[in-house]
Structure 1
Amino acid sequence: MSKLDQYIEAATRDSTRQSYRAAIEHFEVQWKGMLPATADGVARYLAEYADTLAVSTLRQRLAALAQWHNEQGFPDPTKAPIVRQAMRGIRALHPAQEKQARPLQLDELERVVGALDRAVGAARLGNDRAGELRNLRDKSLILLGFWRGFRSDELCRLRVEHVEAKAGEGISCFLGRTKGDRQNLGTTFKAPALTRLCPVDAYLDWIGAAQLTTGDVYRPIDRWGHVGEHGLHIDSIAPLLRALLGNGGLDGAKAYSGHSLRRGFANWAASNGWDVKSLMEYVGWRDVKSALKYLDASVSFAKDRMEHSMAGRLHELERS
């Protein structure tokens, strides 16, 4: 691979590249489609899987096909009228409510962290090095993920040399690439030290016990207590979180995903009076619509807005 190819590849997120590769393989191998494709072929592909795949998945498949054709220098068949009409018809006949991760509530976070603390204590008493490290790692991951509203891929890409943490003060995390940073300029995320459920103390405890000075922050740990050289894979975050929630005694752990930490923080912040602008600045949202989807998940936030609106209306009526 040439240096130019390396830079071009780096411009696309790993998760996007993998999902696009899987989409092309599905079109060619499973459906037996031919590339380059015709507009009629793409439309028939959509019709074939309209009953079994979500509309969002079909849109992702179209994006992958469009990218493949553009990269290979072929006309993009996904822009043809027949493909657009097929997608409109599929959306009309197969409407689906967008599924969103269940937000992790603060009391649920507290229960999980309590279980992890007890597990750390038991591991130390039993001289279980692997158990101690694993529970310290998980505690740091869930607390930092919640209080910073990190996505799964962002947690996986955190590096020790790009994190500065000071007990009693706060933590600063630099990420060279985030979903909202289209120009890859890099973003620094900060969080304060807290009197309880502190992400700073949890991070320092983890890297201290694991003796990490460089490289990925969150890594696999084998049964002998050896810390891996590379970071956790993004696909491991959701199962890990569900296991933590189940061990913490929470019902319905399967309803949570890696995005539950981000949604949970947004829910908590909205319920505690954060306005949209403040939340967008803290989390790093550039799009108001994205932020509002998180805020609208908070019933208490909606209630506050409704009560405020009705109070204002009552005040107007009293003055008239």
Structure 2
Amino acid sequence: MTNDKINQPTDMNKLNSYIEAATRDNTRKSYQSAIRHFELEWKGFLPATAESVARYLADYAEILSLNTLRQRLAALAQWHIEQGFPDPTKAPLVKKVFRGVQTLHPAREKRAKPFQIEQLKQVTAWLDQAIEAAQQAGCRGDELKHTRNKAMLLLGFWRGFRGDELIGLRIEHVEVIPSEGMICYFPRTKGDRQLKGSSFKTPALSQLCPVSAYLAWVELSGLTSGPVFRSVSQWGHIGNDGLHKDSLIPLLRSLLADAHIDLATQYSAHSLRRGFANWASSNGWDIKTLMEYVGWKNMQSAMRYIENADPFSKQRIERGISGHLTTPLIE
């Protein structure tokens, strides 16, 4: 009986669902896009040879960033492995060409502009005024949008969430503890390699409170399950799905521009994460506590988000100059 059970054909739909679940949605979509780019735009053939992959790298070396090229290689590697073909991206020729691209086109890392606490206060004050004005005018659509944006902004800042975490948060995974805070659970996060799920505690604050902002949004929207942050039409219709990942940055920049924040186009969803990291660091949080709070697994990831309080070492040098000038010269 046991052998008969083993020999029964597996439901392929069920099998494929588990295979798809092993890869994050964003990763899977980006890999699919990379394969389409190789086949349709570059007119490459699959399975590919090492020579064709090397030519592909050379053709886009001056167009695509190093990170994008790495992602394209990873997508090609995965496709070949899954289809049972040799992986051409591991060939010496491909590796040598990629090293050459790194040498001739070195990457300069672009970092999101950190969002400061004073800016958070300014935008929150603008949102409060906009919510009140919408209520008085009876514009439910505007009231919903501003209330949603306030909750998203405050939660994104005080929890240091990435953009995909913000839009992936679900109401049934949020537990609010009155007067204390809220717990946000994610079945899967970027750093959760063991797929154990991650919980993040957010405190209730006396001002700029993310918990009260979240409760205000949930109460006004009437949502009881599903994605927390969704689209809102001008007539006040709330979408069924969560906000699309590509809509978050334009939404944030539009909000900052409306609140009269300078250089709004230089900010992204990562600005909230970097802004909180800088605020915490400047207020005495040690790096270990910050890593545990945000969810970073290694020191290098954390340090990329923290701005030096004296980036040009001006204060240190000035102190050294002052000390030297006050020291009497000895003939």
Deviation at 1:304, TM superposition (A): 12
Residue of structure 2 in register with 1:84 after alignment: 95
Larger C-alpha radius of gyration, 1 or 2? 2
Deviations 1:31-60 (A, max 9, x none): 110100000110000000111111111111
Is 1:58 the equivalent of 2:39?
no
Q: Amino acid of the residue matched to residue 60 of structure 1?
A: Q
**1:174-253 equivalent positions in 2, closer than 5 A:** 174-253=185-264
Contact 1:216/1:230 (8 A) holds in 2: yes
Residue of structure 1 in register with 2:301 after alignment: 290
Equivalent in 36, 54, 58 of residue 47 of structure 1: 58
Q: Give the Cα separation in 1 of the matches to 2:57 and 2:76.
A: 12
Contact 1:271/1:300 (8 A) holds in 2: no
Q: Amino acid of the residue matched to residue 147 of structure 2?
A: L
Deviation at 1:168, TM superposition (A): 2.5
Deviation at 1:299, TM superposition (A): 2.9
Residue of structure 1 in register with 2:132 after alignment: 121
Q: Give the Cα separation in 2 of the matches to 1:283 and 1:209.
A: 29
Unaligned 5+ runs, structure 2: 1-11, 321-331
TM value normalised by structure 1: 0.92
**1:1-320 equivalent positions in 2, closer than 5 A:** 2-295=13-306, 297-300=307-310
Deviation at 1:298, TM superposition (A): 3.5
Which has the larger displacement, 7-16 or 45-54? 7-16
Q: Does the C-alpha gap of structure 1 residues 256 and 169 become closer, same or farther in structure 2, counting only changes over 3 Å?
A: same
TM value normalised by structure 2: 0.89
Q: Which runs of 4+ in 1 moved over 6 A?
A: 301-307
Q: Amino acid of the residue matched to residue 299 of structure 1?
A: A
Deviation at 1:302, TM superposition (A): 9.1
Deviation at 1:306, TM superposition (A): 6.7
Contact 1:172/1:189 (8 A) holds in 2: yes
Deviation at 1:260, TM superposition (A): 1.0
Unaligned 5+ runs, structure 1: 311-320
Q: Does the C-alpha gap of structure 1 residues 141 and 2 become closer, same or farther in structure 2, counting only changes over 3 Å?
A: same
Q: Give the Cα separation in 2 of the matches to 1:55 and 1:269.
A: 31
SS of the residue 1:230 aligns to: strand
Deviations 1:75-100 (A, max 9, x none): 10001111111111111111121111
What RMSD in Å do the two structures reach over aligned CA positions? 1.8
Deviations 1:225-284 (A, max 9, x none): 111111111111111111111111011111111111111111111111111111110000
Q: Does the C-alpha gap of structure 1 residues 301 and 189 become closer, same or farther in structure 2, counting only changes over 3 Å?
A: farther
SS of the residue 1:281 aligns to: helix
Contact 1:152/1:259 (8 A) holds in 2: yes
SS of the residue 2:230 aligns to: coil
Q: Give the Cα separation in 2 of the matches to 1:306 and 1:92.
A: 34
Q: Amino acid of the residue matched to residue 115 of structure 1?
A: W
Q: Give the Cα separation in 1 of the matches to 2:284 and 2:310.
A: 10
Contact 1:167/1:201 (8 A) holds in 2: no
Deviation at 1:197, TM superposition (A): 0.6
Q: Give the Cα separation in 2 of the matches to 1:300 and 1:232.
A: 38
Contact 1:271/1:298 (8 A) holds in 2: no
Q: Give the Cα separation in 1 of the matches to 2:316 and 2:300.
A: 19
Q: Give the Cα separation in 1 of the matches to 2:200 and 2:314.
A: 28
Q: Does the C-alpha gap of structure 1 residues 63 and 108 become closer, same or farther in structure 2, counting only changes over 3 Å?
A: same
